[in-house]
Amino acid sequence: MTADAPQPVQMIARGRIITMDPTRRIIEDGAIAIDKGLIVAVGAHADIAGRYRAADMLGGPDALLTPGFIDAHTHCTQCFVRGLTSGELPMIPRIYNPAQRVLTADEAASTVRLLSAQMLRAGVTTLCEGTLNPDHETAILETLEEVGIRSILARGRADQDFHHASLYSQINDRSWVKARDGEAESDLLRTEDLLQRFPSRGDGLIHAAVNASALLGFSPRYFTEGAALARRFDSTLQVHIGRDREEVEFCLDVWKRRPVERLFDLGVVDEHLVAVHAVLASEREIEILAKGKAALAHSPTECVANMNAIPNLPRFRAAGIRVALGCDNQANDMFATMRAAWLIHGARWGVERFDPEFLPAGELLEMSTIESASSLRIDHITGSLEPGKAADFLVMDGTAPHFMASQDVTSELVRYGSRAEILQTVVAGRVLYDRGNFATIDMQGLRDEATAGAAKVRQEVVDRRYRPLPAF
């Protein structure tokens, strides 16, 4: 090969590129050279075409290329039942837990395939499983590997009994917690094993993390030793916090502290902490998270669907807190989720203060890509289109009417773009979704599995709902 001969690579993708690199560069008629699943070069198409050649070509002069989206918070085994949860508070013990408990391992695998199909169709290349249901751990892990979507698995099993006395019954009843001896140690050993097999900072598709779902169910020991594990493996500790009134009541009754204050007392608020939801975080709690450099996983649709509370996102941003957007199974579509964030925060903070800059489109895109990757500590491998990172990206139809009369492509993508314009979803250089076809999911089989699964979980929760179900 002469010095000038183009270097053979696996794939070249051409289009207008939104890189989300440190300078947020947008390249008109750009190209990405990809080899062995990694990005080798990003630049002007004329330059890349001169330096590289590939049998596999994606996109074209009219395509739009963006980093794949990262869904920073989900629960894989909830998607058979998600349509029955809205307004059914408290939906976790009432609907989600029984519907998940009843699933066999095969059915859990089907939920993972269904979730992955919904996500790949909508341009999500990385999902973050927030609690990794221990009963279905192996099925979930194996199915994610089979599908080939990038995943963060935060695992951990509750080790503490508790009793919640509601505010109105605290006159003669008090809340309490009691750790179950030895459970934290044995469960954290399993998490350590997962962290060793799937390092957070590794190059594989699966990245392990630590889950201590909530202050009620996880002991102080679990939190402090779980946080130590997250630090040791440069991973994250993921905690649902400040989510509902009951939790705040509980924390004030048992520890005389609000939820994030309690986390601070436990010594776990640092850059490895991902505070999930924090919709009820006070000004002081936001300050604690900011000082500790913790991140927020924010699910805007869930705020409306189930939590009935909206976090003060502009305040989180002003304090310098990294924010990662998550669907939490309410959309499984980051376009819908970015738009929900735009609209609910616009209605809550922008309109109220007559402030059009409450949440610019560019920041919403950061929260779905590079900032999400940084919050989840996988920004070494994904979140932007830069040499050395994995080829996790979307090829979109840049000729769609939504993208005509283009003035500011980032704003147009976030505010008007949708999954309808996605042609291909690529994870680590592998085209997993291509114009309606899924490379690793048997959609006919999945349809049958999903129909059966939906009927099963419906049967399980039918008597637990407030409102009768419509007949079908």
Looking at the Cβ atoms of 69 and 96, the one nearer to Zn ion is 96
Looking at the Cβ atoms of 140 and 390, the one nearer to Zn ion is 140
Looking at the Cβ atoms of 26 and 309, the one nearer to Zn ion is 309
Is there a contact between 234 and 260 (Cβ–Cβ < 8 Å)?
Answer: no
| Cα pseudo-dihedral 303, 340, 472, 105, rounded to 10 | -70
* Part of the chain binding Zn ion (CB under 5 A), chosen from 126-134, 138-146, 159-167, 281-289: 126-134
CB of 91 to Zn ion, least distance (A): 11
Burial call 246-263: b when 16+ CB within 10 Å, e when fewer: ebbbbbbbbbeebbbbbb
CB of 130 to Zn ion, least distance (A): 4
CB of 277 to Zn ion, least distance (A): 7
CB of 240 to Zn ion, least distance (A): 5
Distance CA 97, CA 304 (A): 20
Q: Is 130 in the site for Zn ion (CB under 5 A)?
A: yes
Kind of pairing between the strands at 422-427 and 430-434: antiparallel
* Part of the chain binding Zn ion (CB under 5 A), chosen from 110-118, 125-133, 178-186, 416-424: 125-133
Distance CA 435, CA 461 (A): 36
Looking at the Cβ atoms of 130 and 383, the one nearer to Zn ion is 130
- 90: cis peptide before it, omega within 30°? yes
Looking at the Cβ atoms of 130 and 148, the one nearer to Zn ion is 130
CB of 15 to Zn ion, least distance (A): 35
CB of 243 to Zn ion, least distance (A): 8
Q: By Cβ distance, which residue is nearest to Zn ion?
A: 130
Residue with tokens 């957007």: 325
3 φ/ψ angles, rounded to the nearest 5 degrees:
-60, -25
CB of 276 to Zn ion, least distance (A): 6
Looking at the Cβ atoms of 68 and 130, the one nearer to Zn ion is 130
Q: How far apart are the first and last CA of the chain?
A: 66
Looking at the Cβ atoms of 337 and 425, the one nearer to Zn ion is 337
Site size toward Zn ion, by CB under 5 A? 1
Q: Is 300 in the site for Zn ion (CB under 5 A)?
A: no
Largest CA distance in the chain: 86
Distance CA 268, CA 264 (A): 6
Looking at the Cβ atoms of 136 and 430, the one nearer to Zn ion is 136
Report how far apart, in Å, the C-alpha atoms of 160 and of each of 167, 184, 233, 244 are.
Answer: 21, 9, 25, 19
Distance CA 299, CA 311 (A): 10
Q: Is 123 in the site for Zn ion (CB under 5 A)?
A: no
Site map (CB under 5 A) of Zn ion, residues 79-118, x = contact: ----------------------------------------
Applying CB under 5 A, which residues contact Zn ion? Answer: 130
